[in-house]
């Protein structure tokens, strides 16, 4: 029996559909990658292509992010469309679809657990652990699509070997193969096994949420029952959230018909739009291509159409499908017509019930229709022209979707033909984003041992009675702080070279909170509370400065906590009205020992650090300077029950006026 899969494996239609929608709406690569990475069949497809001989002796791809970087977005999208076409032809019984839903939930639970355990136990490649968690039971996925009962059982019996053969064929190395091969070995035999083998084996057991998995966590990594159950609870919540975002029901029986029907319609519309574009002559300039494709638009919609191109601040009538077109040129400036409104807003505009302008009446006469819709063709950062469709005021949703897909594909053609340098820059930008994300992960891995070293220095300092030795250790800790801050700034500065920008404060703090939770708050007696406001919290500040401020404040807060533990709370509020303007507020509160009287008077002044006893030192002077540079306000409230730092940053919606 050929145990390796043919790569044409089944996916839940909701996942394939959502992945296609994310590509068609140009969502960022992280969102697309997150959707694809949640499905074993799609992971197999993209990793098989990324690790194919076409790429020579390149290192093995171990994550969907790496595959996107190697393949490029266009090939990535083509792969998704191919998968969708094959999914449409897939025939499974009702029971098989139910098994597929349960398989998806178990595979994703295992993968997320593997990533969490890898991070918790400091395995350096958390994404690799996630990917192997998605693939560990691929034999079951092959069995679901296999009609022969005997062959199906054989695949189920050889799941571990099949997964091991697959990762070996991709050149992912012996450790990855061993993690697959020994995933079902008893925990008592894995105590001294390789790190990755233990992570995958424990993940498969914890995904079942039984007592054997809880016991194995203690055997393999010494994890307490309380911590292990908390991991299970969080992973269960994450899987439920992912299922909800994709429209996959987990509590009730699964019915594939609605998702499959919508997927068929989506694939059919994409194929029709792509074929219609291919009917036109695409060798000329932008205007010639627009003039050619208007016939294709009428072909797929059955509606009369006109095409206007943009030239020298004018919209010029290029062609139509209602007979001979007169010479017509109108200003591109807004004038009340649907044509100029669509061009300037870059969104479709329908006449509907609004009173038509004179230009609208002229266009209705040319189209010989009672109503019309204007659809802009946006290529890169410019609007190349506008299509006008004659309607009766009641256009079906299916036609609207066809027009959207048609104009999106036409936009891609125009970008390739007339702005190749823009599309090249866009591709380079995506590749840069992927590389930046990889750099951030590497920086995070470097920061972890730095944090451990700092904690050991803190403990060592408290054991020494020699003031000189304590002072020397303080210097070492300051230098470690500075190195850690520089690393985190470096990972952020790759995105922007200036802090004169607008940032989503809540998004930045949520991202930073994940770093804090896995480093500063990994002890069981330390608790980190993140309370983000529900309203938008955009501030006039750069991500690098925000992170530098929060790193200093949260680290100080943790170091102020007593030896028996405590909590730190990071909270945002918006909008906050003070001094005749809007602000966004950040609060960092700890349950520590407070601030010594000798420190309060010179709180934000550089001086000798006393971290571990209160908030002070060079870090707070840096925080004060950064807040001042942003035009913000910082204040401190200290008492016997802890300390709160309150920062007000200018809200992005309220620029400082001249009177300010």
Q: What is the pLDDT of residues 22-70, one digit of tens each?
A: 877 767 767 888 888 888 888 888 888 777 765 555 667 777 777 777 7
Is there a domain that residue 163 lies in?
yes
Residue pair 558/526 in contact by the 8 Å Cβ criterion: yes
3-state SS track over 358-404:
HHHHHHHHHHCCCEEEEEEEEECCEEEEEEEEEECCCCCHHHHHHHH
pLDDT at 465 over 80: no
| CA 263 to each of CA 313, 320, 326, 476, 484: distance values in angstroms, whole numbers, following the listed order | 41, 33, 42, 59, 47
What's the mean per-residue pLDDT of the chain?
A: 80
* pLDDT attached to residue 87: 73
**Per-residue b or e along 605-622, where b marks 16 or more CB atoms closer than 10 Å to that residue's CB:** eeeebbbbebbbbbbbbb
Write down which residue in 400, 418, 436 finishes a domain. 418
Q: What is the pLDDT of residues 224-281, one digit of tens each?
A: 999 999 999 999 999 999 999 988 988 878 888 888 888 887 777 777 777 777 767 7
101 and 23 assigned to the same domain: yes
Is there a domain that residue 175 lies in?
yes
Is there a domain that residue 118 lies in?
yes
pLDDT at 521 over 60: yes
Is there a domain that residue 6 lies in?
no
Distance CA 601, CA 94 (A): 72
Q: Which is nearest to 410 in space by CA: 238, 278, 519, 257?
A: 278
The count of domains in the chain is 4
Residue 542 sits in a domain whose CATH number is: 3.30.565.10
Domain ranges, residue 450: 423-494
pLDDT-above-90 percentage for the chain: 30
435 and 549 assigned to the same domain: no
451 and 553 assigned to the same domain: no
* pLDDT attached to residue 80: 75
- Provide mean pLDDT across the span 386-409: 82
549 and 602 assigned to the same domain: yes
Residue 373 sits in a domain whose CATH number is: 3.30.450.40
488 and 536 assigned to the same domain: no
Residue pair 143/162 in contact by the 8 Å Cβ criterion: no
* pLDDT attached to residue 388: 92
529 and 437 assigned to the same domain: no
pLDDT at 514 over 90: no
Is there a domain that residue 553 lies in?
yes
506 and 410 assigned to the same domain: no
* pLDDT attached to residue 406: 85
* pLDDT attached to residue 450: 59
pLDDT-above-70 percentage for the chain: 80
* pLDDT attached to residue 413: 79
* pLDDT attached to residue 655: 44
* pLDDT attached to residue 380: 76
Residue pair 414/286 in contact by the 8 Å Cβ criterion: yes
92: left (phi over 0), alpha (psi -120 to 50) or beta: beta
Q: What is the pLDDT of residues 280-339, one digit of tens each?
A: 777 778 888 888 888 888 888 888 999 999 988 899 999 998 888 889 999 999 888 999
Assign 181 a pLDDT band (cuts: 50, 70, 90): very high
Which range, 51-65, 194-208, 445-459, 507-521, has the best average confidence (pLDDT)?
A: 194-208
Residue 123 sits in a domain whose CATH number is: 1.10.3210.10
* pLDDT attached to residue 471: 67
Is there a domain that residue 203 lies in?
yes
Write down which residue in 494, 512, 532 finishes a domain. 494
Distance CA 389, CA 506 (A): 42
409 and 537 assigned to the same domain: no
507 and 595 assigned to the same domain: yes
* pLDDT attached to residue 204: 94
50 and 193 assigned to the same domain: yes
Write down which residue in 223, 246, 269 finishes a domain. 246
70 and 170 assigned to the same domain: yes
Residue pair 102/79 in contact by the 8 Å Cβ criterion: no
What are the residue ranges of helices labelled H in 377-466? 397-418, 420-463
* pLDDT attached to residue 453: 63
- Provide mean pLDDT across the span 482-487: 59
Element (H, E) at 258: helix 257-279
Is there a domain that residue 429 lies in?
yes
* pLDDT attached to residue 441: 53
490 and 511 assigned to the same domain: no
At 251 the three-state DSSP class reads: coil
Rounded to 5 degrees, φ, ψ at 601 are -65, -25
Is there a domain that residue 4 lies in?
no
């Amino acid at each position: 029996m050929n145990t390796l899969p043919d790569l044409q494996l089944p996916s839940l239609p909701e996942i394939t559909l959502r992945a296609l929608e994310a590509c068609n709406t140009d969502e960022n690569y992280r969102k697309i990658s997150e959707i694809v990475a949640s499905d074993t069949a799609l992971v197999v497809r993209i990793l098989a292509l990324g690790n194919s001989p076409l790429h020579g002796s390149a290192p093995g791809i171990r994550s969907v992010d790496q595959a996107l970087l190697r393949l490029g977005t266009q090939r990535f999208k083509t792969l998704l469309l191919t998968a969708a076409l094959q999914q449409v032809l897939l025939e499974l019984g009702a029971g098989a679809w139910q098994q597929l839903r349960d398989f998806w939930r178990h595979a994703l639970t295992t993968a997320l657990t593997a990533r969490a355990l890898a991070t918790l136990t400091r395995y350096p490649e958390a994404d690799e652990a996630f990917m192997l968690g998605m693939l560990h039971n691929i034999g079951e996925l092959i069995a679901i699509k296999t009609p022969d009962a005997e062959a199906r059982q054989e695949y189920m019996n050889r799941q571990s070997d099949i997964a091991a053969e697959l990762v070996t064929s991709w050149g992912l190395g012996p450790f990855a193969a061993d993690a697959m091969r020994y995933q079902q070995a008893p925990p008592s035999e894995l105590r001294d096994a390789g790190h990755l083998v233990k992570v995958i084996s424990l993940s498969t057991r914890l995904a079942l949420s039984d007592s054997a998995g809880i016991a194995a966590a203690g055997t393999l990594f010494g994890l307490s029952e309380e911590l292990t159950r908390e991991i299970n609870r969080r992973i269960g919540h994450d899987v439920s959230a992912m299922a909800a975002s994709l429209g996959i029901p987990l509590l009730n029986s699964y019915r594939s018909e609605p998702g499959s029907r919508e997927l068929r319609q989506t694939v059919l519309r994409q194929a029709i739009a792509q074929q219609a574009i291919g009917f036109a002559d695409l060798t000329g300039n932008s205007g010639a291509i627009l003039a050619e494709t208007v016939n294709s638009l009428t072909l797929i919609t059955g509606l009369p159409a006109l095409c206007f191109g943009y030239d020298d601040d004018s919209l010029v009538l290029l062609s139509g499908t209602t007979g001979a077109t007169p010479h017509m040129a109108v200003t591109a400036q807004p004038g009340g017509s649907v044509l100029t409104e669509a061009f300037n807003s870059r969104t479709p505009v329908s006449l509907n019930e609004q009173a038509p302008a004179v230009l609208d009446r002229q266009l209705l006469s040319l189209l010989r229709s009672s109503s019309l819709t204007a659809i802009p063709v946006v290529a890169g950062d410019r609007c190349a022209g506008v299509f006008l469709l004659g309607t009766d005021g009641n256009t079906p949703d299916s036609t609207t979707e066809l027009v959207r897909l048609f104009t999106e594909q036409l936009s891609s053609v125009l970008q390739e033909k007339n702005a190749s340098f823009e599309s090249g820059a866009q591709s380079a930008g995506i590749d840069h984003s992927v590389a930046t994300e990889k750099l951030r992960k590497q920086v995070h891995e470097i920061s972890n041992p730095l944090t451990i070293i700092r904690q050991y220095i803190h403990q060592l300092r408290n054991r020494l009675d020699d003031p000189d030795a304590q002072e020397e250790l303080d210097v070492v800790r300051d230098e470690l702080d500075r190195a850690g801050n520089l690393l985190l700034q470096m990972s952020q500065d790759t995105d922007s070279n200036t802090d004169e920008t607008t940032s989503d404060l809540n998004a930045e703090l949520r991202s930073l909170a994940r770093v804090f939770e896995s480093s500063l708050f990994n002890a069981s007696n330390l608790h980190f509370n993140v309370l983000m406001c529900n309203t938008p919290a955009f501030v006039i500040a750069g991500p690098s400065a925000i992170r530098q401020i929060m790193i200093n404040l949260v680290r100080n807060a943790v170091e102020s906590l007593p030896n028996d533990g405590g909590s730190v709370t990071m909270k945002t509020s918006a909008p906050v009205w003070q001094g005749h303007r809007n602000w966004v507020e950040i609060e960092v509160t700890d349950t520590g020992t407070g601030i010594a009287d000798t420190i309060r008077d010179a709180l934000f002044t550089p001086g000798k650090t006393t971290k571990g006893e209160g908030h002070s030192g060079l870090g707070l002077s840096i925080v004060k300077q950064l807040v001042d540079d942003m035009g913000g306000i910082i204040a401190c409230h200290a008492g016997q029950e802890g300390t709160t730092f309150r920062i007000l940053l200018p809200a992005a919606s309220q620029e400082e006026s001249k009177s300010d």
